[in-house]
Amino acid sequence: MNIRDLKKEQLKLAKKVTVKDDFDEINYIGGCDQAFIDNKVISAVVVLDYKTLKIVEKKYAVADAPIQYIPGFLSYRESPAVVEAVSKLDQKPDILMVDGNGILHPRKIGMASHLGILLDMPTIGVAKKLLLGEEKDGKIMVEGEARGAILKTKEHAKPIYISPGHRTSLKTAEEVVKRCMVEKHKMPEPLHEAHKYSNKVRDRMLEKSGEVPKGKGDDE
Radius of gyration over every alpha carbon of the chain, rounded to an integer in angstroms: 16
Q: Provide the CATH number for the domain around residue 94.
A: 3.30.2170.10
**How many angstroms separate the CA atoms of 215 and 38, rounded?**
16
Nearest CA-CA partner of 206 in 17, 20, 82, 36:
36
pLDDT of 33: 97
- Please report how many Cα atoms fall inside a 13 Å half-sphere around the Cα of residue 74, on the Cβ side: 23
Domain residues for the domain of 199 are 3-209
- The answer to whether residue 214 sits within a structural domain is no
**How many angstroms separate the CA atoms of 124 and 28, rounded?**
14
**How many angstroms separate the CA atoms of 41 and 63, rounded?**
5
**How many angstroms separate the CA atoms of 26 and 168, rounded?**
12
Residues 112, 104: contact at Cβ < 8 Å?
A: no
DSSP 8-state secondary structure symbol assigned to residue 34: E
pLDDT of 178: 96
Q: Going along the chain, which residue ranges are E strands?
A: 28-37, 40-49, 55-64, 95-99, 123-127, 134-136, 139-142, 145-151, 160-166
- The answer to whether residue 182 sits within a structural domain is yes
**Which backbone phi and psi does 57 adopt, to 5 degrees?**
-160, 150
- The answer to whether residue 216 sits within a structural domain is no
pLDDT of 215: 44
- The answer to whether residue 160 sits within a structural domain is yes
CA dihedral 9, 10, 11, 12 (to 10 degrees): 50
pLDDT of 1: 65
- Please report how many Cα atoms fall inside a 13 Å half-sphere around the Cα of residue 133, on the Cβ side: 29
pLDDT of 153: 85
- The answer to whether residue 162 sits within a structural domain is yes
CA 128-130-131 angle, to 5 degrees, is: 120
- The answer to whether residue 105 sits within a structural domain is yes
Counted domains in the chain: 1
pLDDT of 2: 85
Residues of the chain where predicted confidence (pLDDT) is lower than 70? 1, 211-220
**How many angstroms separate the CA atoms of 79 and 94, rounded?**
18
Residue type, 35: A
